Structure 1
């Protein structure tokens, strides 16, 4: 890997890597096993995950970089469970203890299907905060930029 990237070995087929040894042990473990071992959860140490991703990009290890980037994405699976997204937002993307995202002003629930008995609409100032619309189990849609006003 290093030979291909940096055009040959150093003296006596060795390389001198002036990189952080704490991070490099994770790089080496990934190269040996193909998976991330002994890594604390992202929520416990996001700085370590970001630093490891930078190192993976530096060494050109795309598989490791992709594995470390997963913590920055939120994908919604249509399972009928809308609380997963709300929990993710309520923990500030896994970085703190859970707080209700609606009462904290993180999202504004504009409509929801309450117990399968029709829609409940809440008219709120949608320019203040992002909106989360839960309608007829089609999956929530989160507006993170300038939300449109509901007429």
Structure 2
């Protein structure tokens, strides 16, 4: 009698706060999205971008975002003091570049898009839409969405 071995198929899914510690899965998703060579680089980028985002998302959206993220990511968002000035998307990218040693505006844009692009499937389109509604125009592209809003 012969036995047939069925290959094990794994499916990837987005980490979620309810998973307990979805931080490793979040970092791995960012590593894959941004094509970072190491887990450590992806973690550094994720921490920098989430900390920057945490200064610009306010109110219920900030609370809901923290609830939807794995614990470590939630702490990064929640521990930031909200900014008094709203940065344009380009200024936001520049602020991430300033926080990242050796970054250029182009590499910072890549980093921001790699992290924020992973958030939509993780936290849900409805929450991302609400977050985008409170941010200046231009952020949609950073989240991997078409920016179809009116220009000021």
- In the superposition, the TM-score normalised over structure 2's length comes to 0.30
- In the superposition, the TM-score normalised over structure 1's length comes to 0.30
User: Which structure: larger Rg?
Assistant: 1
Higher-RCO chain (CA-CA 8 Å, sequence separation at least 6): 2
Would you tell me which structure has more helix in proportion to its own residues? 2
